[in-house]
Amino acid sequence: MTVRIGVIGTGAIGRDHIDRVTRRIRGASVTAVTDLDRALAEKSAGEAKVYPDGAALIASPEVDAVLVACSDAAHAEHVLTAIAAGKPVLCEKPLAVTPEDCLRIMAAEESHGSRLVQVGFMRRYDAGYREMHRVISAGDIGRPLLMHCAHRNRASRPDYTTEMAVLSSGVHEIDAARWLLSDEIVSTQVINPRSTRHRLPHLTDPQFMLFETASGIRIDLEVFVNCRYGYDIRCETVGEEGLLRLPDPARPELRASARIGTAIDQEWDDRFSAAFDAELQAWVDSVPTGRATGPSSWDGYAATAVATATVRAQQSGDVEQVNMRERPAFYA
């Protein structure tokens, strides 16, 4: 069976997903696309049909599964429509921009009776993170106590805002931490170090975020989106019996010009290209089974709840509590 995918949103991420499905993923093809900017949709369509809007695309009998990659604010609407149609959906993060909308999606999914939604936290498909998850879950470092993270980009685009350090960047670590630690974040705080001269004046960069989990694990996260030297993701978990650290990607070692060294990825899509492939493949593979796998609506809700509280913390300068519902048995 070839899964026929409809893609909502053909901006950079959407086009990237279309390209992956077309050239790298097994068992799927893109049969439908739509975008608010119809010309853009047509440009990316290839052999896919262009639909006037998300609702029409989701309703099409030529669409088995829906990939939501439009603007964040429109995610919830399309996901809800897909659930109503009983169609599997891969939604780019965030699942929704408010916790309330995430809860609405959860309620709809629960009414449907089985998981239909996978949220696009692709780090869970990165080989290094996966092995960390395996080692921590196996108990090899004992109970986790601390986690030290960094999320660094070479340079930010002009429209990158201080809030995006949480909503676009840090949210990946928020999800990764929840997943690696099997724990929920209950409070959050943001500290502002001196900013780099290499940022635009409107931006606070770097930022230093602190999270606490329900069981008392403390997580610190440096988000630095103009670090100049490359795209660099660090994650280190300190447990009662040992410490585990995410590896740098394997690159040939060069000894030349009085230095021993390796290249470092410059962009996030280089660093996580294989993870994006694995994420999409896992999604495509899950469609025929009728049961979504990977990051769930609950995970999407938790990430949005923590991110929302963290944006409040950016503004208040205080420790902010994360207000979260209890996890429904449906998502256990």
228 touching a copy of itself, by CB under 8 A: yes
- Contacting a copy of itself (CB under 8 A), which of 38, 112, 218, 312? 218
How many residues touch a copy of itself (CB under 8 A)? 69
Candidates 50-58, 91-99, 248-256, 294-302; binding stretch for a copy of itself (CB under 8 A): 248-256
Angle between the N-to-C axes of helices 273-286 and 127-137, in degrees from 0 to 180, rounded to the nearest 10:
70
Contact between 47 and a copy of itself by CB under 8 A: the answer reads no
Query: Which phi and psi angles does 300 have, rounded to 5°?
Result: -65, -40
Residue 288 interacting with a copy of itself (CB under 8 A)? no
Contact flag: residue 201 with a copy of itself (CB under 8 A): no
One residue of 71, 263, 267, 327 binding a copy of itself per CB under 8 A:
263
Neighbours of 199 (CB within 10 A): 18
- Helices 127-137 and 171-181 pack at an angle, to 10 degrees, of 30
Among 74, 84, 135, 186, which residue interacts with a copy of itself (rule: CB under 8 A)? 135
CB of 191 to a copy of itself, least distance (A): 6
Burial readout 208-247 (b: 16 or more C-beta within 10 A, e: otherwise): ebbbbbeeebebbbbbbbbbeeebbbebebbbeeeebebe
CA 4 to chain centre: 23
Tell how strand 320-321 and strand 185-191 pair up.
antiparallel
By CB under 8 A, is residue 327 in contact with a copy of itself?
Answer: no
The one among 167, 233, 246, 307 contacting a copy of itself by CB under 8 A? 246
200 binds a copy of itself (CB under 8 A): no
Q: Does 186 bind a copy of itself (CB under 8 A)?
A: no
Counting contacts by CB under 8 A, is residue 140 touching a copy of itself? yes
Which residues does 302 contact at the CB level (< 8 Å), separation at least 6? 175, 178, 184, 185, 324
Q: Which residue reads 């604010």 in tokens? A: 73
Nearer to a copy of itself, 157 or 259 (CB): 259
CA 268-263-198 angle, to 5 degrees, is 60
The total of other beta-carbon atoms located within 10 Å of residue 158's CB is 7
CA distance linking residue 128 with residue 265, whole number of Å: 15
State yes or no: residue 220 binds a copy of itself (CB under 8 A). Answer: yes
Footprint of a copy of itself (CB under 8 A)? 23-27, 127-128, 131-132, 135, 140-143, 145-146, 148, 150, 191, 193-198, 206, 208, 210, 215-218, 220, 222, 224, 227-230, 232, 238, 240-264, 266, 274, 281
